């Protein structure tokens, strides 16, 4: 599988500002992968996302989407068609008064024939489990539902990559769970390439790849288990690591020998329980 | 002293129309001076409606809210006065900033209280101190600040009224871990220095485990649980039942207990989990 | 309080009126307004009134909703009536009074005219979804494109405005509550003081509206929006038999009013 997005030495700063928001980023996103980008506010992670469909253009360096340079104005529609983008605030990306009309917005812009739009809209709404709500007014939906409508709106465009820029930052835990499980399903079952920008580390656990951004640079890049095993470095970045990783690290400091790549509660509990029970048995005998 | 007692509080939105909806039903609870309380519940459980009754922004459909025995809805004046004693910080409070400078915005509340200029200045400085807004920012426009700073300025705007009870509706919503922690520490700081009652509406269970002494859980418009974190987090399954998470450490503890690991006492923070595990494994080193 | 505004509100339904093409309904409303303003005698007024009542009945809009929508207009209606009563020359109803018979007649007709005008347009917005309405408007006004009128942009703006009205109303409520919690007082004081008291609401509201507009523009561009050129639609509007019948009936009605005017009825 090839790369869908490639960053070549990308540096970005806003005109009239002295600080680089992105510094010399080299990065490529593989087709079919689920990449999570983690970082605190101001780390440059949203700026990175906005480079992926040409909303922002690099000050230096180049970004290629499916081989097209995002600075090429004549191809910008193709680029935006290839990379769908979901934003943080669910209210500010829904255009229409009716759910299905909103989902139809992108294919309408692309000049897709009417019957096909209908089909795409229905398919997209079913994929995010919002089909029954197709005639509803968006402002009466919950945050999680609105975000799923926004995802459907992007799916109806039939992009090759979906970039979600902090889609859960404004949602309650239920809404967050809805959105994250929708995203995971899209990636795992429908083969969609996904880039998820977030500051919630627990949303990154199931990604194929985790990129940590800090001060406009890539601070870490690898599988979530690998990245989170560097507890100290993560904490220095002001980022949390999952409680499973922390407890395993602290137990290991106390003489346990547990694997450090356990991210899910169940597998972590399995390993700790086995070790503790074994010790108790040894101590008793 | 400010003791708030809520008796049989019921609130119905759009009463008498087809859109009628009872948000809270027959809620009775007493909040004592100096307590640190978290109000938990999923969206639509009635927790936001509940807190808006505590400073008379909403009037009960039935029932009463008293502060030190006085009905806060007695007349217009008591409804106004209670807003000075019970400060309410809404969700995303940075969206209410409007003055040209940070200092003026923080001063809006005290100005409405018709205080003297010196008094206002002193309170602005004090409130800004509580939330870590430096004086060098005072003459800046609030719109130029970062998200976390704006939030802290907005909270200072309420603290400047020196409320005896400070209520915050999801004060950390949308902030990253560093921003959230700073805000929670600021709030703790205010409570310790002023002796105020602090009531935080939140979804964040880890914050609840870390920062409060009392938890009130709302579900379907009434209080489902009310107690210390130890008491409430002992009911992991019931919490999940009402659509809430439990702190990660409590979740791991529950999974370990299920696997036959004997953990003593209440376990819902990292340190408690570590201590309980060390005891369970009889590890004496370190 | 703010939530009671029924402006542009749509009551979904499945009556003939609901199913008419929005273009038909727009044309009918224009015909209706022309007829209304050409009604001179009582006969014509009665005809228009009867047609309005029939339309209301057919579209199954509950009169209560109509009255609710009329409420904010009552003041204007009453004021117009009063002015007409006092400023019309003619035979006084009693020796020495300013009030004339002609004045009363004109006042009643004026009231009727404004009320019917509002009710007629309400029937349109109550039975047509805002999306359908703007679509219809865009197609009807398409010929103006040749005169370089940006029809697509105008109708898009309209539908966006309608989309964001509930969001902004909710936001206004929230900001008002937040400022009240900081001791703001919107109810007492003289006119200037009250106007000043609105600043803490208006400034955040504008700031937020601009932020929303900004984010919305980026979101639209991300979804390949590039103006009206080459756009297709999911729902295509089609004239059916019932549209032709409705238009013929509308034309007959307007013609009838003109005939009555000619004969002084």
Q: What are the extents of the domains in chain A?
A: 3-224, 242-285
Distance CA B90, CA B109 (A): 14
Q: Are residues C7 and C93 in the same domain?
A: yes
Q: For chain B, which chains pass the contact test of at least 3 CB pairs under 8 Å?
A: A, C
The DSSP 8-state label assigned to residue A66 in this structure reads T
Contacts of B99 (CB under 8 A, 6+ apart): B105, B107, B108, B142
User: Of A235, A210, A232, A229, nearest to A221 (Cα)?
Assistant: A210
Distance CA B131, CA B186 (A): 5
Q: Enumerate the residues of chain C whose CB falls inside 8 A of the CB of residue B89.
A: 181
Residues above pLDDT 90, as percent of chain C: 33
The vertex-A85 CA angle with A111 and B91, nearest 5°, equals: 125
CB of A229 closer than 8 Å to CB of A57: no
Q: Report the pLDDT value the prediction gives residue A97, as an integer from 0 to 100.
A: 83
For the four alpha carbons of A240, A242, A248 and A254, in that order, the dihedral sign comes to: positive
Q: Are residues C2 and C72 in the same domain?
A: yes
> Considering CB atoms only, which of A87, A93, A97 is closest to C131?
A97
- Beta partners for residue B62, in sequence order: B10
Distance CA C245, CA C149 (A): 31
pLDDT digits (tens, 9 = 90+) for A7-53: 999 999 998 888 899 999 999 999 999 999 999 888 999 999 999 99
The 3-state secondary structure of chain B, one letter per residue: CCCEEEEEEEEEECCCCCCCEEEEEEEEEEECCCCEEEEECCCCCCHHHHHHHCCCCCCCCEEEEEECCEECCCCHHHHHHHHHHEEEECCCHHHHCCCCCHHHHHHHHHHHCCCCHHHHHHHHHHHHHHCCCCHHHCCCCHHHCCHHHHHHHHHHHHHCCCCCEEEEECCCCCCCHHHHHHHHHHHHHHHHHHCCEEEEEECCHHHHHHHCCEEEEEECCEEEEEECHHHHHCCHHHHHHCCCCCCHHHHHHHHHHHCCCCCCCCCCCHHHHHHHHHHHHCCCCC
Distance CA C118, CA C5 (A): 14
Per-10-residue mean pLDDT of chain B, 286 residues long, equals 88 77 92 93 89 93 93 89 92 92 94 93 94 92 90 95 94 88 93 93 88 92 93 85 84 90 87 89 55
Residue C139 lies in a domain: no
**CA distances to A41, A82, B122, C154 from B153, in Å:** 18, 41, 15, 39
> Considering CB atoms only, which of B55, B109, B112 is closest to C185?
B112
- Please say if the pLDDT value at position C142 is more than 70: yes
Residue B98 and residue C204: Cβ atoms within 8 Å?
yes
User: What CATH number does domain A3-224 carry, 3.40.50.1470, 3.30.930.10, 3.40.50.720, 3.40.50.300?
Assistant: 3.40.50.300
Residue C59 lies in a domain: yes
Q: For an interface test with A, which of C209, C222, C226, C227 has the most A Cβ atoms less than 10 Å from its Cβ?
A: C222
Residue B108 and residue C184: Cβ atoms within 8 Å?
yes
3-state SS class at A63: strand
- Please say if the pLDDT value at position A283 is more than 80: no
Backbone angles phi, psi at B217, to 5 degrees: -105, 120
Q: Which of A146-160, B116-130, C10-24 has the lowest mean pLDDT?
A: C10-24
Name the pTM for this structure.
0.86
Check if A112 contacts C (Cβ < 8 Å).
yes
User: Of B264, B237, B269, B250, nearest to A265 (Cα)?
Assistant: B250
For the four alpha carbons of C154, C158, C164 and C165, in that order, the dihedral sign comes to: positive
Q: Are residues C239 and C200 in the same domain?
A: no
Q: Enumerate the residues of chain A whose CB falls inside 8 A of the CB of residue B260.
A: 273, 277
DSSP string, A128-144: TT-GGGTTS-GGGS-HH
Residue C200 and residue B88: Cβ atoms within 8 Å?
no
Nearest residue in B to A38, CA atom: B176
Q: For chain A, which chains pass the contact test of at least 3 CB pairs under 8 Å?
A: B, C
From B158's Cα to the closest Cα of chain C, the distance in A is 6
Residue B158 and residue C182: Cβ atoms within 8 Å?
yes
The DSSP 8-state label assigned to residue A93 in this structure reads G
Check if B52 contacts C (Cβ < 8 Å).
yes
Q: Are residues C177 and C255 in the same domain?
A: no
Q: Are residues C108 and C226 in the same domain?
A: no
Check if B93 contacts C (Cβ < 8 Å).
yes
pLDDT digits (tens, 9 = 90+) for A74-122: 999 999 999 999 999 999 999 988 899 999 999 999 999 999 999 999 9
CB of A49 closer than 8 Å to CB of A55: no
DSSP string, C203-250: HHHHHHHHHHHHHHHHHHHHTT---STT---SS-----HHHHHHHHHH
Q: Are residues C226 and C246 in the same domain?
A: no
Check if B109 contacts A (Cβ < 8 Å).
no
Residue C165, domain extent: 150-231
Mean pLDDT of chain C: 86
Nearest residue in A to B149, CA atom: A41
From B240's Cα to the closest Cα of chain A, the distance in A is 11
Q: Are residues C107 and C3 in the same domain?
A: yes
Q: Are residues C52 and C72 in the same domain?
A: yes
Q: For an interface test with C, which of A73, A88, A96, A97 has the most C Cβ atoms less than 10 Å from its Cβ?
A: A97
User: Of A79, A17, A92, nearest to A51 (Cα)?
Assistant: A79
From A116's Cα to the closest Cα of chain B, the distance in A is 37
Distance CA A212, CA C204 (A): 34
Check if C150 contacts A (Cβ < 8 Å).
no
Residue C138 lies in a domain: no
B18's tokens: 């087809």
Q: What is the mean pLDDT of residues A219-247?
A: 87
Structure-model confidence comparison of residues A151 and B266, the more confident one: A151
Distance CA B5, CA B53 (A): 11
Nearest residue in A to B254, CA atom: A269
Q: Enumerate the residues of chain B whose CB falls inside 8 A of the CB of residue C177.
A: 52, 57, 90
Residue C202 lies in a domain: yes
Check if A125 contacts C (Cβ < 8 Å).
no
Q: Is A84 exposed, middle or buried (0-12, 13-18, 19+ CB in 10 A)?
A: buried
Residue C234 and residue A114: Cβ atoms within 8 Å?
yes
Distance CA A157, CA A109 (A): 9
Q: Report the pLDDT value the prediction gives residue C238, as an integer from 0 to 100.
A: 83
Q: Are residues C199 and C167 in the same domain?
A: yes
User: Of B93, B85, B159, nearest to B122 (Cα)?
Assistant: B159
Backbone angles phi, psi at A30, to 5 degrees: -80, 145
Go through the domains of chain B in sequence order and give each one's CATH number: 4-229 (3.40.50.300), 247-286 (no CATH)
Q: How many CB atoms lie within 10 A of CB C233?
A: 17
Tell me the Cα Rg of chain A. Answer: 21
Q: For an interface test with C, which of B79, B88, B95 has the most C Cβ atoms less than 10 Å from its Cβ?
A: B95
- Please say if the pLDDT value at position A158 is more than 60: yes
Q: Are residues C74 and C50 in the same domain?
A: yes
Q: Enumerate the residues of chain A whose CB falls inside 8 A of the CB of residue C225.
A: 105, 109
Check if B14 contacts A (Cβ < 8 Å).
no
A interface with B, Cβ–Cβ < 8 A, is: 40-42, 88, 142-143, 169-170, 172-175, 199, 202, 238-240, 242-244, 246-247, 250-251, 253-256, 265-266, 268-270, 272-273, 275-277, 279-280, 283
Q: Are residues C44 and C159 in the same domain?
A: no
Instruction: Read off the pLDDT band of C48 (50, 70, 90).
Output: very high
- Please say if the pLDDT value at position C1 is more than 60: no
Q: For an interface test with B, which of C178, C200, C203, C208 has the most B Cβ atoms less than 10 Å from its Cβ?
A: C178
Q: Enumerate the residues of chain A whose CB falls inside 8 A of the CB of residue C9.
A: none
Q: Report the pLDDT value the prediction gives residue B239, as an integer from 0 to 100.
A: 86
Q: What is the mean pLDDT of residues C47-68?
A: 88
Pairing of strands A68-69, A60-65: antiparallel
Q: How far apart are the first and last CA of chain C?
A: 44
Strand order through the sheet with B4-13:
B21-31, B4-13, B62-67, B70-71
Check if C176 contacts A (Cβ < 8 Å).
no
A23's tokens: 């510094």
Q: Report the pLDDT value the prediction gives residue B286, as an integer from 0 to 100.
A: 44
- Beta partners for residue B222, in sequence order: B219
> Considering CB atoms only, which of B57, B80, B96 is closest to C175?
B96
User: Of C64, C29, C227, nearest to C136 (Cα)?
Assistant: C29
The CA dihedral of B252, B258, B264, B267, to the nearest 10 degrees, is 30
Residue C134 lies in a domain: no
**Total count of domains within chain C:** 2
Residue with tokens 């547990």: A258
A221's tokens: 């890049």
pLDDT digits (tens, 9 = 90+) for A180-228: 999 999 999 999 999 999 988 889 999 999 999 999 999 999 999 999 9
From A228's Cα to the closest Cα of chain C, the distance in A is 33
pLDDT digits (tens, 9 = 90+) for C215-249: 999 999 999 998 878 888 888 888 889 999 999 99
Q: Are residues C71 and C176 in the same domain?
A: no
Q: Report the pLDDT value the prediction gives residue B221, as an integer from 0 to 100.
A: 92
Please name the helix (run of DSSP H) or strand (run of DSSP E) that holds residue A50, with its range, or none. Answer: helix A45-51
């Amino acid at each position: 599988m090839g790369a869908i997005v490639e960053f070549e030495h990308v540096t970005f700063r806003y005109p009239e500002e002295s600080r680089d928001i992105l510094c010399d980023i080299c990065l490529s996103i593989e087709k079919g992968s689920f990449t999570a980008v983690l970082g605190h506010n101001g780390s440059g992670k949203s700026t990175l996302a906005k480079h992926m469909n040409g909303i922002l253009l690099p000050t230096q360096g180049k970004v290629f989407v499916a081989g097209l340079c995002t600075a090429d104005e004549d191809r910008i529609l193709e680029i935006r068609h290839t990379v769908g983008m979901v934003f943080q605030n669910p209210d500010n990306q829904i255009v229409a008064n009716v759910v299905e009309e909103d989902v139809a917005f992108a294919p309408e812009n692309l000049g897709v024939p009417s019957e096909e739009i209908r089909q795409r809209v229905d398919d997209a709404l079913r994929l995010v489990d919002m089909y029954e709500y197709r005639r509803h007014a968006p402002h009466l939906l919950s945050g999680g539902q609105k975000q799923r409508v926004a995802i459907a709106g992007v799916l109806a465009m039939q992009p090759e990559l979906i970039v979600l820029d902090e889609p859960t930052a404004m949602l309650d835990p239920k809404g967050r769970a809805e959105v994250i499980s929708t995203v995971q399903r899209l990636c795992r079952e429908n083969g969609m390439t996904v880039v998820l920008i977030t500051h919630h580390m627990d949303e990154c656990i199931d990604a194929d790849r985790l990129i940590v951004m800090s001060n406009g640079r890539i601070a870490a890049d690898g599988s979530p288990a690998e990245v989170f095993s560097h507890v100290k470095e993560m904490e220095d970045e002001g980022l949390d690591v999952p409680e499973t990783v922390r407890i395993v690290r602290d137990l290991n400091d106390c003489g346990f020998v547990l694997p450090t790549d356990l991210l899910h509660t169940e597998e972590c509990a399995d390993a700790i329980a086995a070790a503790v029970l074994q010790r108790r048995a040894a101590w008793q005998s | 002293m400010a003791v708030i007692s809520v008796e049989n509080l019921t609130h119905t939105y759009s009463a008498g129309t087809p859109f009628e909806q009872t948000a809270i039903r027959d809620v009775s609870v007493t909040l004592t001076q100096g307590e640190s309380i978290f109000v938990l519940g999923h969206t639509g459980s009635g927790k936001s409606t509940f807190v808006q009754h505590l400073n008379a922004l909403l009037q009960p459909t039935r029932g009463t809210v008293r502060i030190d025995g006085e009905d806060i809805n007695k007349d217009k004046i008591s409804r106004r006065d209670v807003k000075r004693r019970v400060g309410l910080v809404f969700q995303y409070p940075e969206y209410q900033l409007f003055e040209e400078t940070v200092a003026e915005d923080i001063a809006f509340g005290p100005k409405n209280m018709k205080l003297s200029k010196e008094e206002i200045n002193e309170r602005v400085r004090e409130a800004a101190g509580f939330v870590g807004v430096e004086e060098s920012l005072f003459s800046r426009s609030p719109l130029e600040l970062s998200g976390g700073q704006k939030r802290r300025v907005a909270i200072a705007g309420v603290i400047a009224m020196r409320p005896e009870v400070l209520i915050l509706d999801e004060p950390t919503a949308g902030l990253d871990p560093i921003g959230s922690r700073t805000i929670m520490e600021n709030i703790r700081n205010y409570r310790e220095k002023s002796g105020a009652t602090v009531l935080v509406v939140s979804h964040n269970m880890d914050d609840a485990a870390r920062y409060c002494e009392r938890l009130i859980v709302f579900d379907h418009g009434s209080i489902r649980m009310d107690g210390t974190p130890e008491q409430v987090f002992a009911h992991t399954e019931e919490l999940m039942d009402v659509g809430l998470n439990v702190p990660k450490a409590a979740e791991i503890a529950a999974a370990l207990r299920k696997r036959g690991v004997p953990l003593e006492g209440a376990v819902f923070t990292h340190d408690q989990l570590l201590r309980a595990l060390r005891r369970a494994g009889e590890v004496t080193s370190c | 309080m703010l939530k009671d505004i029924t402006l542009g509100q749509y009551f979904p339904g499945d009556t003939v009126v609901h199913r008419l093409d929005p273009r038909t309904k727009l044309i009918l409303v224009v015909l209706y307004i022309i007829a209304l303003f050409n009604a001179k005698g009582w006969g014509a007024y009665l005809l228009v009134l009867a047609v309005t009542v029939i339309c209301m009945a057919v579209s199954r809009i509950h009169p209560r909703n109509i009255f609710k929508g009329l409420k904010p207009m009552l003041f204007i209606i009453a004021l117009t009536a009063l002015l007409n009563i006092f400023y019309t020359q003619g035979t006084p109803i009693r020796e020495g009074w300013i009030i004339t018979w002609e004045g009363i007649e004109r006042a009643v007709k004026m009231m009727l005219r404004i009320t019917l005008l509002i009710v007629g347009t309400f029937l349109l917005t109550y039975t047509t979804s805002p999306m359908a309405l703007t679509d219809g408007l865009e197609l009807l006004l398409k010929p103006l494109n040749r005169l370089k009128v940006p029809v697509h942009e105008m109708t898009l703006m309209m539908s966006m405005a309608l989309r964001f009205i509930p969001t902004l109303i909710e936001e206004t409520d929230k900001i008002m509550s937040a400022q009240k919690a900081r001791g703001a007082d919107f109810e007492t004081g003289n006119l200037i003081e009250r106007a000043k008291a609105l600043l803490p609401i208006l400034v955040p509201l504008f700031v937020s509206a601009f932020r929303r507009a900004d984010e919305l523009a980026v979101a639209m561009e991300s979804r390949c929006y590039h103006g009206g050129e080459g756009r297709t639609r999911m729902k295509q509007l089609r004239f059916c038999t019932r549209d032709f019948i409705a238009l013929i009936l509308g034309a007959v009605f307007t013609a009838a009013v003109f005939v009555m005017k000619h004969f002084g009825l």
